[in-house]
Chain A
Amino acid sequence: MPDLKLSAVTKRFDGVTALEELTLTVKAGERVALLGHNGAGKSTLMKIVLGLLPADAGVIDVMGAACGSRAARALCAYLPENVAFHPALSGLEQLQLFLKLRRQPPRAALGLLESVGLGEAARRRIGTYSKGMRQRLGLAQAFIGKPKLLILDEPTSGLDPVSRRDFYEILDRLAAAGAAILLSSHALTELEARTDRILILSKGRLVADDTLAGLRRRASLPTRIQIAARPGAADEVARKLTAGRHNGVMVDLVCGPEDKLARLGEIAALKDLIDDFEVIPPSLDDIYNHFSRKEASCPVS
């Protein structure tokens, strides 16, 4: 089955490197998240895959077609960052145009709008839509005609939590039907762990390419354990655990992933002195920061 394949793709703007020797694959049926700060090269990468920008070097294979070719455009759906439409058209008219451009029957427009919760606003002009409504209209056009590759630039921005969950459910269905999905985001927390693989871009280089569990393992960030000591026992607990800091009743300790079980054993042994304890694993944001701040000079192989 054809995939999206990029090898050694490089792009420079006026001497400034936007993408450096980027190599990656998104397989059919795979949901891949692309993460990075503003200016990391996410949108540039997407525009190159779509043929909107020419790459300076490298090879791009879009599901078996040349990037930017009519065949590739027929297979690809795109949701741009801050998607915009002509304000004078209604949502229905705009979607009917997009359906015609993909050689699909325009009567499917209303059903698509209803699937993203815009059924009631279908005949209103887009100029009156809120940002979230425009975003949902953008999603509706991306779902036209079972695309083989979806390129979604910050698809969940402006969506409320319910719409966001609905969006991921539609993505799951499309991926199950064999679509390759590449979506970008600012932060890991927004992804709600609904993707198969995570790519992290930093200054135009790929600094991570792994599953969320794999990233967690490779980052090997310390886990925090917070212990609530019984009244008056905080000092003794802190001493026995050689823990860093404590206030009146709380004792905090930080341990690496390899020490976690041993530390929990020590805590369990002090059960007469302890009320409760909580294990706080590194957050998604911590993991993301770890990789995106890593020196861009040591990309993944």
Chain B
Amino acid sequence: MSGLLGVAAAEFRIAIRNRWVTVLVVLMLLFSLVLSAAGSAPSGELGADRLSVTVASLTGLAVYLIPLMALLLSFDAIAGDRDRGTLALLLTYPLSRPGLLLGKFLAHLTVLGIALLAGYGTAAAAAFATDGTAAAGLAPLFRLFWSSLLLGATFLGIGYSASAMAKRSGTAASMAIGIWLLLIVLFDLALLSAVVADDGGTFTTAVFPWFLLGNPADAFRLFNLAASDATALAAGVAGAASAIPSLQALASLLLWPLLAFFLAFAAFRKVTP
């Protein structure tokens, strides 16, 4: 355990010195402030409190941003050590390969957590400053926070898998971008066009909800919007699938990190430094 924590501490230090912590915190701060400012207009018409409205907007943002941040943090984890020639020496130490990966994971998840706290905290502060009833939005915001960590954990695991499979750091980077485009952007576009083409047929009613649950980012969006008062703000895919119970979405969110790490461990085991 001390070895695992040692790896985590060193990785966290590296993330600070590589400016990852600064970059991600600033990114989250900026987006949260912009969304808080933009969210002030429709709240009066909908009757929801300011914070709940902001949570709905933050959910839409987090679906894109969290996977991207997690992949950026993780793509270099194994391929980078291999490129630098530091992996062989590390692997001769008594810490197991899963232990080494979990140490890095702990550090990267902490970095993500700090960025999320900064962003979501700013959004909450902005909502409270202008709306006395914003406390109603605290529960959805808390749910958004921990489900964001689960989504982040999933994409960290996926990033480690890519990092273990790639021979070089550059290959791992392009794999990470490809994964993001495929799972976050193209997946939803393909589903939407299928739903449009199906025009209310069996695909839309029987198959489509499972596809949504199968994608961790969509499950995250469903879980956060299903229980929110501000569901009416949700558009597109999430709006179309509002019938899916949030418990199933939560199950998907919980299973994905496990699956991602199973993949990462399996890929890392095959790596010869």
Q: Which residues of A are at the interface with B, using a C-beta cutoff of 8 A?
A: 47, 50-53, 70, 73-74, 76-78, 80, 82-86, 88-89, 93-94, 96-98, 100-103, 106, 138, 141
**Cβ contact within 8 Å between A89 and B2:** no
Interface residues in B, total, Cβ within 8 A = 25
**Do A86 and B86 contact each other (CB < 8 Å), given the known contacts A97-B7, A103-B3?**
yes
**Cβ contact within 8 Å between B88 and A98:** no
Residue of A with least CB distance to B89: A80
Residue of B with least CB distance to A50: B92
Residue of A with least CB distance to B16: A88
A103 to B94, CA, bound (A): 9
Contact of B2 among A74, A85, A88, A100 (CB under 8 A): A100
**Cβ contact within 8 Å between A102 and B7:** no
Q: Which of B228-273 contact A (CB under 8 A)?
A: 272-273
How far, in Å, is B97 (CB) from chain A's closest CB?
11
Residues of B within 8 A of A85 (CB): 86
SS class of chain B's interface: helix, strand, loop or mixed?
A: helix
**Cβ contact within 8 Å between A76 and B92:** yes
**Do A52 and B272 contact each other (CB < 8 Å), given the known contacts A80-B85, A89-B13, A97-B6?**
yes
B10 close to chain A: CB less than 8 A: yes
Residues of A within 8 A of B10 (CB): 86, 89, 93-94, 97
A53-B272, A97-B7, A101-B93 given. 18 additional CB < 8 A pairs? Answer: A50-B92, A52-B88, A52-B91, A70-B96, A73-B93, A77-B92, A78-B88, A78-B89, A78-B92, A83-B85, A86-B86, A88-B14, A88-B17, A94-B10, A101-B7, A102-B93, A103-B94, A138-B89
**Do A102 and B94 contact each other (CB < 8 Å), given the known contacts A88-B13, A96-B6, A97-B6?**
yes
B95 close to chain A: CB less than 8 A: yes
Q: Which of B1-41 contact A (CB under 8 A)?
A: 2-3, 5-7, 9-10, 13-14, 17-18
**Cβ contact within 8 Å between B89 and A83:** yes
How far, in Å, is B5 (CB) from chain A's closest CB?
7
Contact of B95 among A84, A96, A101 (CB under 8 A): A101
A70 to B93, CA, bound (A): 8
